[in-house]
Chain A
């Protein structure tokens, strides 16, 4: 078990370009979460999956953001037409939960800089 893995770790992109981040959760974890963190702030919830089903999306997740978890294993977070305000660290986390939430384990994050 190597923990939650995210890539790329760093991404610099020009405004207007699309970017995609990948998250590989801890194996057998059925829940997968995406958070966003900016400097001086705590992680902000974006969305989460139970297996392949996306169960909740935050209002922070505009139409330019889309997340998938097609086979209930890895997940991708795509940001279309990036804006400078999208610059942040995007955190993925996973847990094993049966009804009640279990401990959530975080990956190291993917830094996005939009120039």
Chain B
């Protein structure tokens, strides 16, 4: 069975700080990987996805993530966060026909 683990449940950063959110997955076969974001009061939105090819993928709003197959990881990064990045971030994995989500990381950016 596939599963997703997000290491940080709550992260607090100041504006301009660098961000890295950890995500590890468990699945024995080929996977597709996703990061979704949920801003306060809004629905889930896709930040970026990895299907194949270059393991470093770039998404919207300056986010990027790196797929490291040997570590079963897909960490999300952003070099300089903004107050508007305050949201909840979900890592997700698809190994077959459905997407399984991690429990999420709540990111709070201090102005």
Interface of B is mostly: strand
Closest to B36 in A: A106
The reply to whether A107 and B43 form a contact with Cβ atoms under 8 Å apart is: yes
- Bound state CA distance, A93 and B46, in angstroms? 12
B contacts with A, residue count (CB < 8 A): 22
- Size class of A's contact patch? 20 to 34
Considering only residues 14-55 of chain B, those with a C-beta below 8 Å from chain A are 32, 34, 36, 42-46, 49, 51
**Which B residues lie within 8 Å of A106 (CB)?**
36, 43-45
A91 within 8 A of B: yes
A97 to chain B, nearest CB (A): 8
B103 to chain A, nearest CB (A): 5
- Bound state CA distance, A45 and B34, in angstroms? 15
**A-contact bits for B67-111, CB 8 A (1 contact / 0 none):** 000000000000000000000001010100111111110000000
Closest to B44 in A: A106
